[in-house]
Amino acid sequence: TAEPTFAAVDLGASSGRVVLGRLAGGRLETREVHRFANGPVPLPDGLHWDALGLFREVLAGLRRAGRPVSVGVDSWAVDYGLLDASGSLLGEPFHYRDARTDTVAESFVDTFGAAELFSRNGVQFLPFNTIFQLAASKGAALEVAETLLLIPDLIGYWLTGQVGAELTNASTTGLLDARDHEWSPELARAAGVDPALLPALRGPGEVVGELLPPVVAETGLTGTSVVAVGSHDTASAVVGVPARTPNFAYVCTGTWSLAGLELPAPVLTEEARRANFTNELGVDGTVRFLRNITGLWLLQECLRTWGLTSDDLPSLLAGAARAEPLRAVVDAEDTRFLAPGDMPARIAQACRDTGQPVPATRAAMVRCILESLALAHRRALREAAELSGRDVDVVHLVGGGARNELLCQFTADALGIPVVAGPVEATATGNLLVQARSAGLAGDLAELREIAARSHPPTRYAPRTSTAPWDRALRNLPG
């Protein structure tokens, strides 16, 4: 048919995919053409990403993409590659779960001042924010580096030869000024780097460039350009939220749970800082006022420890559904869960530390994780509403966690308001919709969301129980 197609490259921390989309009859039709695993690679100097391997998979996906008008790339936030003066990559990018920032982040904040830092960058304190990764960097690479490229921008550079920094992802680095949306030279210098390392900013919808000849040769694509999308995966996911009313909250669930609100302006108050909220930039000048919650990573790492895979999830989840409710909950925002390793042992320890019974079976452990995530969603969303003075009457839960009925139901039960689940591929959806708009095929955010809603009829979970047992469970969490 004649409708133009678009290709979304969506790199998640646990898997990547290439998804094609086209608008037909006011709906977005999508087709996944390639999917591949992703994860941390332990090397002697720490945890890394296999960036070249990811690029090879991107090319493999694009080879199956037909003839898209454009390609848009998004990925997880904060991580970066460094290029030398000739454009060569200086080493494999570090993984944000690498331990090198552990103490540096806190001492940076102590020196700079937590309130001062937040008033400038508006970003949640997470030890792996780019600003702290740079402050923790040792070795020669940073000395000879000329350009820092965030992961989607690095892929964009390898596709087109063009460098730049897409705004939504730049806003996660801690190096962007929260008010004027420009790089902050002072913050770069405080992190020990030359501000010239940070390339020119570009916004979602802008053309990045045309595919380089070796990419054309490898993929067979001619006449395809690369378009900047909300290159932070969470920014694209929020575009893909099928909200039809203004008073919506969202939880983007995958490796992480990102729970918050879309606002017209940042909340830079002392209360927001103490509650550790972030003001990341969304598409069309919006602000994503949210908190990062250790999400289904908790479950992913349990599976890995148990020698299981996501194929085992359906039976584990069935067991969790039968397990005793709210026996024990842990604080899903505790940084003790950040690093890879024996997750069941760490969860057991967290239960002991709070005087709760240790989950005795795998089913009980999975139940504990899902209930803990639901409680964390509730806590973050209620605080977000309070800190921003907004009402919330529906929660959209999107991403891989939308496949998890228990997680959706528990979130509705804990909050006492309906959860509307899906799309699972909200990120690819948002990525594709911004490309379609760049090609002149769609309008404002509300219209993009209307298309998302028509394309993926979501599943509604009404609260089944009173919130009272959840109110009580919350008292088992420290703080």
Residues forming the site for ligand LRH (CB under 6 A): 12-13, 76-78, 96, 232-234, 254-256, 258, 292
Distance between CA atoms of 416 and 378, rounded to whole angstroms? 9
From the candidates 74, 233, 331, 334, give the one annotated as an active-site residue. Answer: 233
Which class for 327: exposed (0-12), middle (13-18), buried (19 or more C-beta within 10 A)? middle
d(CA 23, CA 39): 32
Q: Match 């927001």 to its residue by tokens.
A: 272
CB proximity list for 240: less than 8 A, separation 6 or greater: 398, 423, 425, 426, 427, 428, 429, 430, 431, 433, 452
258 binds, among ligand ADP, ligand LRH, none (CB under 5 to 8 A by kind): ligand LRH
DSSP alpha helix (H) spans, 122-200: 130-135, 140-144, 151-160, 167-170, 185-190
Among 101-109, 189-197, 295-303, 464-472, the segment contacting ligand ADP (CB under 6 A): 295-303
Q: Which residue is nearest to ligand ADP (CB)?
A: 400
64 binding partner (options ligand LRH, ligand ADP, none; Cβ < 5 to 8 Å by kind): none
Q: How far is the CB of 14 from ligand LRH (least distance, A)?
A: 9
At residue 209, what is the residue type? G
Q: Identity (one letter) of the amino acid at 335?
A: T
Site string for ligand ADP, 225-264 (x = CB under 6 A): -----------------------------xx---------
Residue 233 known to be catalytic: yes
Minimum CB distance to ligand ADP smaller for 266 or for 399: 399
Q: Which one of ligand LRH, ligand ADP, none interacts with residue 300, CB within 5 to 8 A by kind? A: ligand ADP
Q: What would the x/- binding string for ligand ADP be over residues 364 to 403, using CB under 6 A?
A: -----------------------------------xxx-x
CB 429 within 8 A of CB 445: no
Q: Count CB atoms within 10 A of the CB of residue 144.
A: 12
Residue 108: partners with Cβ closer than 8 Å, 6 or more residues away: 131, 132, 135, 190, 191
14 binds ligand ADP (CB under 6 A): yes
Three-state DSSP state, 35: strand
Query: To the nearest whole angstrom, how small is the minimum distance from the Cβ of residue 237 to ligand ADP?
Result: 8
Q: Among ligand LRH, ligand ADP, none, what binds residue 279 when CB lies within 5 to 8 Å by partner kind?
A: none
Name the binder of 77 from ligand ADP, ligand LRH, none, CB < 5-8 A by kind: ligand LRH
Closer of 148 and 417 to ligand LRH (Cβ): 148
Q: Render 271-284 in DSSP notation, one character per residue.
A: HHHHTT-EEEE-GG
CB nearer to ligand ADP: pick between 298 and 328: 298
Q: Which does 277 bind (CB under 5 to 8 A by kind): ligand LRH, ligand ADP, none?
A: none
Q: Which is nearer to ligand LRH, 225 or 300 (CB)?
A: 300
Widest CA span in the chain: 63
| Among ligand ADP, ligand LRH, none, partner that 292 touches (CB below 5 to 8 angstroms by kind) | ligand LRH
The residue among 235 and 374 lying less far from ligand LRH, judged by its C-beta, is: 235
Q: Prior bond to 423 cis, omega within 30?
A: yes
Which of positions 301-320 make contact with ligand ADP (CB under 6 A)? 310, 313-314
What six digits make up the tokens of 36?
Answer: 């591949």
Q: Give the Cα separation of 476 and 328 in Å (integer).
A: 8
Kindly state the tokens that stand for 126.
């997470």
Nearest to 429 by CA among 28, 108, 3: 28
Nearer to ligand ADP, 243 or 424 (CB): 424
The residues of the shown chain that bind ligand ADP, judged by CB under 6 A, are 12-15, 254-255, 296, 299-300, 310, 313-314, 399-401, 403-404
Which of the residues are catalytic? 233
